[in-house]
A and B are shown apart, each in its own frame.
Chain A
Amino acid sequence: AQKVTQAQTEISVVEKEDVTLDCVYETRDTTYYLFWYKQPPSGELVFLIRRNSFDEQNEISGRYSWNFQKSTSSFNFTITASQVVDSAVYFCALSDEGTSGSRLTFGEGTQLTVNP
């Protein structure tokens, strides 16, 4: 069965610090997709990135970067020079052949607080 673990429940940093959010996943499938979503206080889940299991290239988008390592089943998310607006709950999620369709299995989420 698939599982996503975000061991960090809460993280608090000061503005301009770099912060890394950890995500470890479990799946028996060789084809799967990993996602990160951001949930601000308004409640809506905002899509950040999708990565497939065959592409281990790291990705950078502005202040955001993602490190995908199949060897350790991890898909970590780093925010560089954090800002107060980055404060939110961040979810890592997995979709694999076992679940079928576009069903997502989410981690528990990490509450990130960026203090001015």
Chain B
Amino acid sequence: KAGVTQTPRYLIKTRGQQVTLSCSPISGHRSVSWYQQTPGQGLQFLFEYFSETQRNKGNFPGRFSGRQFSNSRSEMNVSTLELGDSALYLCASSPGWVMNTEAFFGQGTRLTVV
């Protein structure tokens, strides 16, 4: 069974640009969550999608957005990039949308903003 796949693995962008990250969940999983990991703030929840609907959103500015497609694949977009957006972005997939569901994580996309 294939795991969670995130693309690209590494990305370098310039301040002011926008970026789109992709996540393909485990087959059959309908929930996709995104997390940002930085040395200073640790792991922080960005948002969660379930059946193409955003179910939950973390405390991030509107520059961070996402969506989920009918095949459960998800993308997150960051517009007007800032240096502080440099981070490891992790995607997690879960079978359903319940708090006891274990989340399986991808290897992440490391974004560097210069």
CB within 8 Å of B: which residues of A? 31-33, 35, 37, 42-47, 50, 52, 91, 95-97, 99-109
Cross-chain contact of A101 among B50, B88, B102 (Cβ < 8 A) = B50
Cross-chain contact of A47 among B50, B55, B104 (Cβ < 8 A) = B104
- Name A31's closest neighbour in chain B (CB-CB): B99
Q: Which of B42-64 contact A (CB under 8 A)?
A: 42-45, 48, 50, 55-56, 58
- Name A42's closest neighbour in chain B (CB-CB): B107
B107 touches A102 (CB 8 A): no
* CB-based closest 8 A-B pairs: A45-B105, A106-B43, A95-B99, A44-B107, A43-B108, A102-B101, A102-B94, A101-B56
Q: Shortest Cβ distance from B91 into chain A, in angstroms?
A: 10
Whole-angstrom CA separation of A70 from B55 in the bound complex: 29
Cβ–Cβ < 8 Å partners of A103 in chain B: 33, 45, 48, 56, 58, 99
User: Could you list 10 examples of A-B contacts with CB < 8 Å?
Assistant: A42-B107, A47-B103, A47-B105, A52-B100, A100-B55, A101-B97, A102-B92, A102-B97, A104-B43, A106-B42
Whole-angstrom CA separation of A85 from B5 in the bound complex: 24
> B90: CB under 8 A from chain A?
yes
Chief secondary structure at chain B's binding surface:
strand
B33 touches A102 (CB 8 A): yes
Q: Shortest Cβ distance from B2 into chain A, in angstroms?
A: 14
> B24: CB under 8 A from chain A?
no
Number of interface residues of B (CB under 8 A): 30
Cβ–Cβ < 8 Å partners of A99 in chain B: 56, 99
Cβ–Cβ < 8 Å partners of A104 in chain B: 33, 35, 43, 45, 92, 103
B43 touches A102 (CB 8 A): no
- Name A33's closest neighbour in chain B (CB-CB): B100
Among B31, B43, B58, B94, the most chain A Cβ lie within 10 Å of the Cβ of B43
Whole-angstrom CA separation of A33 from B99 in the bound complex: 7
Whole-angstrom CA separation of A42 from B33 in the bound complex: 19
Known: A100-B55, A102-B103. A43 touches B88 (CB 8 A): yes
Whole-angstrom CA separation of A106 from B105 in the bound complex: 14
> B110: CB under 8 A from chain A?
yes
